[in-house]
Amino acid sequence: MAKKTAKRRAWTAGDVRELKGFARQKMPVARMARALRRSESATRQKLNGLGLSLRSRRAKSSRSGSARRRAR
């Protein structure tokens, strides 16, 4: 049986508009990708290309900044 290959789809203006809205809502990338019916990596690449950061979505450490500095 032949392996199915993913077919590339261009990003439409509507897709980009939705993606920016999801980013504003700080939605996880996995949910964004599922809603847009695209892979997580394609979604991350597009966000990066648009200059939208995913840094604010990372879980905060239980240590405070000063405790981290003292631990070094």
pLDDT of 20-65, one tens digit each?
999 999 999 999 999 999 999 999 999 999 998 777 555 555 555 6
Among 19, 16, 24, which Cα is nearest to 57's? 24
DSSP one-letter code for 8 = P
- When pLDDT is cut at 50, 70 and 90, the band that residue 2 belongs to is confident
pTM as predicted: 0.68
How far apart, in whole angstroms, are the C-alpha atoms of residue 48 and residue 18? Answer: 15
Among 9, 4, 3, 57, which Cα is nearest to 37's? 9
Cβ burial of 32 (10 Å; 0-12, 13-18, 19+) is buried
